[in-house]
Amino acid sequence: MKNKLTKKQALTKNQSLVLKALRKAKQPVGAYELLDQLREHGLKAPLQIYRTLDQLIDLKIVHRLESLNAWTLCCDAEHDSTPVFAICNDCGSVNEYFDENLTSNIAKISKKSGFVADRSIIEIHGRCDQCETS
């Protein structure tokens, strides 16, 4: 296991700014929302935001939720497993889960088909516990 602190120290100024904004948000954040929040800190171009987010994804700190076109912090920055995101359609809450069987099944599919998986992410839409009971 790598030391998370070392990783944190290695972040660039832009990466730290984006990370801070994502941490502050309780929900996944879109690129333009980030741009609005970080404009005063010198991040003025969408490209800067996208590039920084890509770097954070490579560092495994952030995930991109394709179905929302938004980004969210990873709940555990060292996992190699496929994250499963449960996304509530009502309140927008997002939870990250892991499932060993799912991860190994995805690996099996790749092996069988000769496909080389780069990264995988599962997004499930529905209603969260809280919205379901209210």
Binding-site ranges for Zn ion (CB under 5 A): 74, 83, 88, 90-91, 93, 128, 131
Min separation Cβ 110 and Zn ion, Å: 19
Min separation Cβ 112 and Zn ion, Å: 25
Maximum Cα–Cα distance for the chain, whole Å? 50
At 125, phi and psi to the nearest 5? -105, 145
Helix intervals (H) in the chain: 4-9, 13-24, 31-38, 46-58, 100-113, 129-133
Residue 9 makes CB contacts below 8 A (sequence gap 6+) with: none
Min separation Cβ 34 and Zn ion, Å: 19
Which one, 86 or 107, has the nearer CB to Zn ion? 86
Which one, 43 or 82, has the nearer CB to Zn ion? 82
Which one, 113 or 134, has the nearer CB to Zn ion? 134
Parallel, antiparallel, or unpaired: how do β-strands 83-88 and 122-126 relate? parallel
Min separation Cβ 124 and Zn ion, Å: 13
Which one, 35 or 77, has the nearer CB to Zn ion? 77
